Chain A
Amino acid sequence: MSFFSLLVLLVFNFSFELGGAALHEIGPGVLWSAFVFACLLGLNRSFADERENHSLDALLMAPGDRGAIYLGKMAANLIFLLAVELICLPFFALFFNLSPGFFILPLLGVLVLGSACLSAAGTLFAALSSTMRLRELLLPLLLLPIILPALISCVKATGLVLDNQFGPALYPHLKMLAVYAIVFVTLSLMLFEYAIEE
């Protein structure tokens, strides 16, 4: 997944004539596009083990709440996505000539919030699509429009952080990401049982 993200960064580098001002404008978008594509790859694999071994049946028979399966999968997806992002970040800084600055911590904050949003919605849709015929095609088709609100705020927030604007302009976007994550985790916990049942 990390290598895939790096390849995406490369592709974008050649797709756009980059330099100076253009870098600042599209850099965050390029970064998050790479993360979203990596996330989709990861999500496709998310329920693969359960599908291949039919072990979802065993999880369904487990005595705990079925939402626990969702939380476990979401946590796993979140950790993998964060790992991919942390590996890609230095390369992104390198390719796009970013000098290390005080934005590291706030940037990590945006990454964590954004990744939480992607994992929250993505895990639900991965569960939904795992039983479908054209799952590799349908998962991105279903998920991408749904995560657009989070993606918009991620890109905007990342841009503001890289521009060292940590003030009032940033908070609405962080709030949006937090709301999105909370809404989707709550919704997924309520709907997950219906997503995986037979």
Chain B
Amino acid sequence: MPDDGLVIENTSKLFASFAALQSVHLCIERGQFVLLAGANGAGKSTLLRLMAGISRPSSGRVLIDGKDPQRDATARSAIGFLSHHTLLYDDLSAEENLGFFARIYALKNPQQKIDEALKQVGLSSHRHRRLRTFSRGMRQRLALARATLHQPVILLLDEPFTGLDQPARTALSEQLCELKQAGHTCIMVTHNLEEGAPLANRLVVLRKGCLCHDQAWEGSAADLSATCAPFWDGLR
């Protein structure tokens, strides 16, 4: 088992008696771009939350560079998570939100990092506006800025293209490409196969909480669709 990278060791997650994940075993090395696919209810978001250290596994363990993110602060600071929700505060402005997270992560030169982050997602001119006034797409972009502000080594992305218009999708794809080339580890859940296929170099498919496909990947969106099709049955 590699000591660096992300290891999911025979992990299960139960909610009451419902098994969202069952004995999932996965080793993700540094620099890989993993596409996590599966039907709705397959357990993809649950798996991402376990990796982020937000959720505790019912059995098994999650290790980031050999450390448990539930217990170890350095393991947690290696992760950036872009969730279904923005995880931002509606009553604060864009700059205040990023400032809050910069303080939480104890970043050096926080103002500079905030300025760069806002510029990268194209929200510099909206920095003083309250999040409440942002559109869905703008919120998603700010959420990405929050997730990458502390320059995490591992980026977890849960449906990052949702709510984005075409220019924003293109910009996000470019940003993810840069991160991939820079050697960051990315694990992305997406139903948007056109965006996912060019980026991924590994495909993991979940079905009803179980891991049913885990291989290196290279191909087009059509190939991806064909590969995933057999596992698309049995919506929960």
**Chains A and B are bound partners:** yes
Tell me whether A64 is interfacial, beta carbon within 8 Å.
yes
Tell me whether B73 is interfacial, beta carbon within 8 Å.
yes
User: Closest B-chain residue to A198, C-beta based?
Assistant: B55
Given the contacts A62-B104, A62-B105, A53 and B76 also touching, CB distance less than 8 Å: no
Looking at the assembled complex, report how far the CB atom of A71 sits from the nearest CB atom of chain B, in whole angstroms: 14
Q: Is the CB of B56 within 8 A of A52?
A: no
* A54 vs B158: C-alpha distance when bound (angstroms): 14
Mark contacts of B74-112 with chain A using CB atoms, 8 A cut-off: 1 yes-contact digit, 0 otherwise.
101101010101111111000000000100111000000
Given the contacts A58-B146, A61-B76, A63-B73, A53 and B81 also touching, CB distance less than 8 Å: no
Mark contacts of B60-82 with chain A using CB atoms, 8 A cut-off: 1 yes-contact digit, 0 otherwise.
00000000001001101101010
Which chain B residues border A59 with CB–CB below 8 Å? 104
What band does the interface of chain A fall in when counting residues whose beta carbon is under 8 Å from B?
10 to 19
Mark contacts of A41-79 with chain B using CB atoms, 8 A cut-off: 1 yes-contact digit, 0 otherwise.
000000001001111011111111100000000000000
Tell me whether A25 is interfacial, beta carbon within 8 Å.
no
Q: Is the CB of B101 within 8 A of A58?
A: yes
- In the complex, identify which listed stretch (B46-54, B163-171, B173-181, B214-222) lies at the interface while the others stay far away: B46-54
* A61 vs B105: C-alpha distance when bound (angstroms): 10
What band does the interface of chain B fall in when counting residues whose beta carbon is under 8 Å from A?
20 to 34
Q: Is the CB of A53 within 8 A of B73?
A: no
* A59 vs B90: C-alpha distance when bound (angstroms): 15
Given the contacts A55-B89, A64-B73, A198 and B83 also touching, CB distance less than 8 Å: no
* A197 vs B86: C-alpha distance when bound (angstroms): 19
* A65 vs B71: C-alpha distance when bound (angstroms): 9
- In the complex, which of the residues B88, B89, B105 contacts A63, with contact meaning CB atoms closer than 8 Å? B105
Which chain A residues border B79 with CB–CB below 8 Å? 61
User: Closest B-chain residue to A64, C-beta based?
Assistant: B73
Which chain A residues border B89 with CB–CB below 8 Å? 49, 53, 55
Most B CB contacts (10 A, CB to CB) among A59, A60, A63, A197 go to: A63
- In the complex, which of the residues A49, A57, A60, A64 contacts B91, with contact meaning CB atoms closer than 8 Å? A49
User: Closest A-chain residue to B91, C-beta based?
Assistant: A49
Looking at the assembled complex, report how far the CB atom of A35 sits from the nearest CB atom of chain B, in whole angstroms: 26
Which chain B residues border A55 with CB–CB below 8 Å? 87-89
- In the complex, which of the residues B53, B90, B105, B106 contacts A60, with contact meaning CB atoms closer than 8 Å? B53
Q: Is the CB of A63 within 8 A of B53?
A: no
Which chain B residues border A64 with CB–CB below 8 Å? 73, 104
* A142 vs B85: C-alpha distance when bound (angstroms): 30
* A64 vs B85: C-alpha distance when bound (angstroms): 22
User: Closest A-chain residue to B70, C-beta based?
Assistant: A197
Given the contacts A54-B85, A57-B85, A62-B105, A198 and B53 also touching, CB distance less than 8 Å: no
Which chain A residues border B101 with CB–CB below 8 Å? 58
Which chain B residues border A62 with CB–CB below 8 Å? 76, 104-105
Q: Is the CB of A198 within 8 A of B49?
A: yes
Mark contacts of A104-144 with chain B using CB atoms, 8 A cut-off: 1 yes-contact digit, 0 otherwise.
00000000000000000000000000000000000000000
Looking at the assembled complex, report how far the CB atom of B154 sits from the nearest CB atom of chain A, in whole angstroms: 11
Given the contacts A54-B83, A198-B49, A61 and B88 also touching, CB distance less than 8 Å: no
Chain B, 15-59, CB within 8 A of any chain A CB:
49, 52-56
Contacts A58-B88, A198-B49, A198-B56 known; list 14 others, CB within 8 Å. A52-B90, A53-B85, A53-B90, A54-B86, A54-B87, A58-B104, A60-B54, A61-B54, A61-B79, A63-B74, A64-B104, A65-B73, A197-B55, A197-B70
> What is A's interface to B at a CB cutoff of 8 Å?
49, 52-55, 57-65, 197-198
> What is B's interface to A at a CB cutoff of 8 Å?
49, 52-56, 70, 73-74, 76-77, 79, 81, 83, 85-91, 101, 104-106, 146
Shortest 5 CB-CB distances between A and B: which pairs? A54-B85, A58-B87, A63-B77, A63-B73, A198-B55
Q: List 17 A-B contacts (CB under 8 A).
A: A52-B90, A53-B86, A53-B88, A53-B89, A54-B85, A54-B86, A57-B81, A57-B87, A58-B81, A58-B87, A58-B88, A60-B53, A61-B52, A61-B81, A63-B73, A64-B104, A198-B56
